[in-house]
Amino acid sequence: MTASVQPQLFPSAQTHMVDLFAGPGGLDVAAHWLGINVTGIEWDDDACATRTKAGLVTKHSDVRKFGPEDFPDATVLAGGPPCQTYTVAGGGAGRRSLDQVLEYLHRMVVDGEDVTEEVSKLHGNDDERTGLVLEPMRWILGAHRGGKPYEAVVLEQVPAVLPVWDAYAKALQGLEYNVACGVLHTEQFGVPQTRRRAILIARRHGKAELPKPSHRLYRKGRSRSEGDSDLLPWVSMEDVLPDRKKFVVVSNYGTGGDPKDRGRRRSDEPSATVTGKISRNRLYSTASLSRELERFTPEESGRLQTFPVDYPWSGKQIAQQVGNAIPPRLAAHVLAAALGRKFETADLDRVVGAAWDPGLYEKPLLPTTQA
Ligand SMILES: C[S@@+](CC[C@H](N)C(=O)[O-])C[C@H]1O[C@@H](n2cnc3c(N)ncnc32)[C@H](O)[C@@H]1O
């Protein structure tokens, strides 16, 4: 398949999504499960190598070179733009960057200004990311002013970006969207990993609601049988890596709670946040803590992110690609909510556990009903 050919994954479906900053395909995999046609725009050679091998439709290019007019059939816009960490508390550079982004958003939305050229003249890494976080708004406004507003918008990033999503929410409400935004915990959606994502869902028709958790919240030291009895127990690393004997992972990242336990997770717990540094984490046998085990393979890291077990990771920097992605399992919940659909957890378990096959289907792999 050539990278720019658009296959009909689900011929009876009308839904076409554009995924800005598409990475190795966390959102696209979930879209595929749901029978949504998706084109991802991504410029990184390595992420594109994975996408091509996985059969995902890709524009291997810079998001800033395109606009809604290039995808006239798209009714859903999704994206996870690279962003700075806006540390709101305590002022400083993070606060100033946030203020700058909010000011640009205001000028784009309220004053109707085209700030593209001005933003492109900013220099430095953080300045470049200021421009990128404004990109989804450029697309939203372009589609709106072109008379073909997106039916749904989905944005995702690290929790520190929530103030930017709040500003997007206000702007989208002004464009007659219903909007929900907040921070979701991945383990509450059956991902064998604790990770928090700031999510925005906007819909032109119908109520916008964040997806409801299917699984319990993880708390250090609490067993998975404790907690809300209406929810399923969280999923552990050993649930998805059955071929490994019991182990302990030691990472540089904190798990919250007791400082002595920082960065340690047992295999019968969810993984700590999977980052681009996951290949540096050390694994030890639970039976003998002095015995170091083989580190996570790319496939295993992908499993902790709920990618299919045989997802064809390709190119270089695979740990970084894996860590960049939104877990497809969480993305399936978010995309379904954005389309006003719902599904059975058992059906999601089945598709997440299945082999990756980007083939053509007469109906979605993950059946949904009206929410
Ligand atoms: C946080 S990752 C997105 C991950 C993706 N949502 C997923 O689930 O796999 C951000 C991606 O944006 C890409 N990127 C950054 N700037 C870009 C640009 N100007 N045009 C296209 N892609 C860009 C990076 O290479 C990276 O893969």
Evaluate if residue 192 carries a pLDDT over 80: yes
Separation of CA 193 and ligand 1 centre (Å): 21
Task: Report the run of H or E that residue 224 belongs to, with start and end.
Answer: none
Would you state the structure tokens that stand for residue 331, as one six-digit string?
Answer: 């993305």
Separation of CA 282 and ligand 1 centre (Å): 28
C-alpha span between 287 and 163 (Å, rounded): 45
Contact 168, 307 (CB under 8 A): no
Q: What is the pLDDT of residues 213-243, one digit of tens each?
A: 999 999 988 999 898 999 999 999 999 999 9
Evaluate if residue 269 carries a pLDDT over 90: yes
Domain residue spans in the chain?
Answer: 16-85+131-216+324-370
Percent of all residues in the chain with a pLDDT value above 70, rounded to a whole number: 90
Give 221-227 contacts, CB < 8 A, sequence gap 24+: 221/257
Ligand 1: lining residues by beta carbon, under 6 Å: 21-27, 41-44, 47, 62-64, 80, 82, 132, 324-326
Angle at which helix 345-353 crosses helix 328-338, to 10 degrees, equals 140
Q: What is the pLDDT of residues 47-106, one digit of tens each?
A: 999 999 999 999 999 999 999 999 999 999 999 998 766 765 555 677 778 888 889 999
pTM, full prediction: 0.92
What is the atom index within ligand 1 of the atom nearest the CA of 63? 20
Which residue, judged by its Cα, is nearest atom 23 of ligand 1?
21
Separation of CA 324 and ligand 1 centre (Å): 8
Separation of CA 275 and ligand 1 centre (Å): 15
The CATH code for residues 16-85+131-216+324-370 is: 3.40.50.150
Contact 62, 369 (CB under 8 A): no
Of residues 142, 253, 232, the one with CA closest to residue 187 = 232
Of residues 177, 141, 181, the one with CA closest to residue 163 = 181
Mutating to test ligand 1, I would choose from 20, 324, 326 the residue with most ligand atoms within 8 A of its C-beta, which is 324
DSSP 8-state code for residue 41: E
Evaluate if residue 5 carries a pLDDT over 80: no
Residue type, 36: I
Would you state the structure tokens that stand for residue 62, as one six-digit string?
Answer: 């810079």
Phi-psi region of 183 (alpha: psi -120 to 50; beta: other; left: phi over 0): beta
Coil, helix or strand for 108? helix
